[in-house]
Amino acid sequence: MTRTWKKLLCCAVLFVGVSAAAIGAETLLSVSFAQGAWDPSAWVLAKNPTVPHLGKWAQRDICVGNETTADPAKKSSLNDTLTTMVYGKPFAGDCTVAATFEIGAGAAPGIVVAQDWAPDGEGRPQYGEFYEVIIYEKGINLWHHFARDGKRLYELSAYSTFPLKPDTRYTLRVQRKKQTLDISVDGHQIGLLIPSLPNELYLGCEGCEGVCRLYDFAVTR
């Protein structure tokens, strides 16, 4: 075989490999939160059981932001700023969820990984057991929310400390591999084994404790 044919064969093999990889990346959901580009009815605006407030998203030209109060004393209050939602249909099996956020000064946006949700006493959608993957100016926090002995509890399950800049766009990724969550942002990564993680999960996003801007959201396999 001549050198030219060897080069052509190598290029063909490389092309087939790249094409196969591209075909193998299945997009399950891809959403831009620009004005007029998404359907709010496809999402469930839900609440954290430990926070009485059910937030709202404020639509901007190229993104949405969690609704915040005009009262300066409450602009960073969890109870007055928390807004969360999940896509209306659960995702089964391994997948990767990614969302692009802009962190306002002191704020804490993130990705929601919920096992279930149901109406509360007032008929408002409310999470059951769920996780919050939060980014803020000092790194990542992973919060686990659950019920025990009839009480709603939450605990910090994992964290990593590093600086993130306010008013800067970051893409947060959470990759589900069987019973693990691999979390990454800006070159930093943490992982967690969750033996009780069910096959189906509701995936979404949130903003709290200040102004958080959400630009896009995607789920791939």
CATH of the domain at 197: 2.60.120.560
46 in Cβ contact with 85 (< 8 Å): yes
List the helix and strand counts (H, then E) for the chain.
Answer: 2, 18
Instruction: Express each pLDDT in 199-221 by its tens digit.
Output: 999 999 999 999 999 999 999 99
Determine which of 22-26, 112-116, 193-197 has the lowest per-residue pLDDT on average. Answer: 22-26
Residue 75: inside a domain, yes or no? yes
pLDDT band of 70, cuts 50, 70, 90: confident
Mean pLDDT over 171-196 rounds to 97
| HSE value, Cβ hemisphere, 13 Å, CA-based, for 187 | 3
Average pLDDT score over residue span 76-83: 93
Does the pLDDT at position 16 exceed 80?
A: no
Residue with tokens 């800049």: 165
User: Which CA distances in Å does 154 have to 47, 49, 108, 111, 190?
Assistant: 14, 10, 17, 16, 19
Q: In this model, does residue 48 exceed pLDDT 60? A: yes
Which long-range contacts link 149-158 to residues 24+ away (Cβ below 8 Å)? 152/49, 152/50, 154/50, 157/131, 157/192, 158/183, 158/190, 158/191, 158/192
> In the structure encoding, which two tokens stand for residue 26, read together?
């299945």
pLDDT exceeds 60 at position 105: yes
DSSP assigned state of 42: G
- The pTM score is 0.88
Mean pLDDT of 85-112: 97
Average of per-residue pLDDT values in the chain:
91
Report the C-alpha gap between 84 and 54 in whole angstroms. Answer: 8
Are 188 and 38 contacting, i.e. CB atoms less than 8 angstroms apart?
no
Q: What is the pLDDT of residue 72?
A: 87
193 burial type by CB count under 10 A (0-12 exposed, 13-18 middle, 19+ buried): exposed
Position 2 in a domain: no
pLDDT for position 205: 98
Give the residue among 107, 116, 115 at the shortest CA–CA distance from 83: 107
pLDDT in tens, 120-163: 999 999 999 999 999 999 999 999 999 999 999 999 999 999 99
Q: 19 pLDDT exceeds 90? A: no
What residue numbers bound the domain in which 42 lies?
Answer: 28-220
Structural domain count, the chain: 1
